[in-house]
Amino acid sequence: MTEVKKIAHVAILVEDIDDALKFWRDALGLELGHVEEVPSQGAAVAFLPLGDTEVELVQPLGEDSGLAKYLAQRGGGMHHLCFEVEDISAKLEELKAAGVRLINEEASTLEDGRQIAFIHPKSTGGVLVELVQY
């Protein structure tokens, strides 16, 4: 079985990153690593590194994305848990073979080269799970 290395990040869905930073950075005291737009995911994200993991703030871009609709319906809050894996393609194959419902059958490659895929909450006990390979 291909290795799961660590929790890469815990993601929180927010209406506005700048506003959310008033708590996560200014009040709690986490450092802001970097902010990036991920158009393929319809989101802007801010990463706040902590130990060997990170908190990710996710803000929907535009009003038509799935994320924007999710935010409108359920409000902000815990959104997903991301695990770093050794080999994302192999892990997706293993999960498929185990009958796990995947949102992305194949990983997508982001601009910095990292590969990600999501697993459906129906198969995880209700938590949206992201896999990443750096």
| 3-class DSSP assignment, residue 16 | coil
CA 16, 22, 24 angle in degrees (round to 5)?
90
Determine if 82 is a binding residue for Co ion (CB under 5 A): yes
Residue for token pair 């929180």 = 12
| Dihedral over alpha carbons 124, 103, 92, 99 (to 10 degrees) | 60
**Among residues 46 and 82, whose Cβ is nearest to Co ion?**
82
For residue 112 the two structure tokens come to 């910095």
What is the closest distance, in whole angstroms, from the C-beta atom of residue 46 to Co ion in the complex? 11
CB of 122: closest distance to Co ion in angstroms? 19
Question: By rule CB under 5 A, what string of x and - marks binding of each residue 52-81 to Co ion?
Answer: ----x-------------------------
Q: Facing residues of 11 across strands?
A: 56, 80
Q: Which is nearer to Co ion, 11 or 88 (CB)?
A: 11
Name the residue among 62, 60, 46, 61 with its Cα closest to residue 9: 46
CB closer to Co ion, 11 vs 71: 11
Using the minimum distance from each CB to Co ion, give the nearer residue, 11 or 107: 11
Please tell me whether residue 44 binds Co ion under the rule CB under 5 A.
no
Binding site for Co ion (CB under 5 A): 11, 56, 82, 130
